[in-house]
Amino acid sequence: MKKYTGFTLVELMITIAIISVLLVVGLPSLKTFMQGNQLVASTNELISAFHVARSEAIKRNNTVTICESTDGTSCTTTGNWNNGWIVFVDGSLDLAAVPPVVVPADRVGTGVPCTDANTGTDCLLRSHAAFADNQLIISGEDVSTSASVSSTTFNARGLPRSAAGASLAANFNVCSLDETGDTISSRAMVLSLTGRVRVSDNAAVITCP
């Protein structure tokens, strides 16, 4: 007599019920995990960009600006760093003067890549495209005035300056939001007056929407 093997209808329904429960429980946790990873990665990418801006300013003995940018070439002032940013040599270097004179930064931006041939003019060092996650918000805030920070210029000594040319200390908030706009998790990149950057999880220095 031939013997048939396989699932019965009851066993199949139980299996489907178990899978459904696991999906309901597991998917939110998976999404939170992925958002947490995105938060850490985004903060690290921003820190890396500020390190490049500061080190290049010192190395080139010139001013270097990092600013938010939606097109990868020009600076914007939307207040949303999650739209992307650029790092560029900002301010021509008059090599004929002794010692060389740095023309003030204009914070406009440029799409011309840096080469050995244009080290004395504005040129692009690095660009970062917008983040695909529309629930990720990155914003900058001046510590002393609470004003929005859309750009930072490092002078040849590696010191950060505001758009007005004043010393700058700022917090860059990286916030992950849920579908309702509430904050799930957050971090901050803290920029000191000396140009050093560090990560903070202190809620007192983080401002999220």
pLDDT tens digit sequence for 167-204 = 999 999 999 988 888 888 899 999 999 999 999 999 88
Residues 6+ apart with CB under 8 A from 42: 82, 131, 136, 138, 174
pLDDT tens digit sequence for 71-109 = 999 999 999 999 999 999 997 656 566 666 666 788 999
Amino acid letter at 49?
A
Residue 68 sits in a domain whose CATH number is 3.55.40.10
Domain that holds residue 186: 11-205
Is residue 2, in this structure, part of any structural domain at all? no
Is residue 3, in this structure, part of any structural domain at all? no
Is residue 170, in this structure, part of any structural domain at all? yes
Residues 77, 150: contact at Cβ < 8 Å? yes
pLDDT tens digit sequence for 130-140 = 998 888 999 99
Residues 159, 123: contact at Cβ < 8 Å? no
Tell which phi-psi region holds residue 21, choosing left (phi > 0), alpha (psi between -120 and 50) or beta. Answer: alpha
Question: What is the pLDDT, as a whole number, of residue 91?
Answer: 77
Is residue 6, in this structure, part of any structural domain at all? no
| Rounded mean pLDDT, 23-35 | 58
Is residue 1, in this structure, part of any structural domain at all? no
pLDDT tens digit sequence for 117-164 = 665 678 999 999 999 888 899 999 999 999 999 999 999 899 999 988
Number of domains, the chain: 1
Torsion over CA: 48, 54, 57, 60 (sign): negative
Is residue 4, in this structure, part of any structural domain at all? no
